[in-house]
Amino acid sequence: MEKISELGFWQRMAAERGLIILFFSSAGCHSCRIWRGLLREYEMTREDLRVWEVDAGIDMGLTQEFEVYHLPALFLFKDGRYLRSLQVEARPQALHRLVESVKDLPGEEQP
């Protein structure tokens, strides 16, 4: 899992290939700690997926751009294109089923 900031975010995202889960978290968020562990493990099982973590308390511009009001928040990108927000329970199998079911769908409009 890589921590990223809003500096150069869109340029870097445009150059990426494969799946990226953009994970908004905060240091004091208990649910974020649970998701952080789950996402680290999930990322290790997939060669086609990376997880980028954004600290919502520090990178407020990106947090506002994605209209993040509740943490944790997850968004899926494919080949640099926004696909959709991921709303799923914090279980590896549930996350995997959701990612597999939406990864080849057309992208939605970004928040």
The pLDDT value recorded for residue 111 is: 78
CATH value at residue 36? 3.40.30.10
Q: Is residue 28 part of a domain?
A: yes
- Percentage of the chain lying above the pLDDT 90 cut: 90
Number of folded domains that form the chain: 1
Tell me what the mean pLDDT of segment 56-70 comes to.
93
The domain in which residue 16 lies consists of 2-103
Our CA angle for 61, 67, 86, nearest 5°, is 120
Q: Is residue 29 part of a domain?
A: yes
d(CA 109, CA 111): 6
Q: Is residue 99 part of a domain?
A: yes
At residue 18, does pLDDT exceed 90?
yes
Q: Is residue 108 part of a domain?
A: no
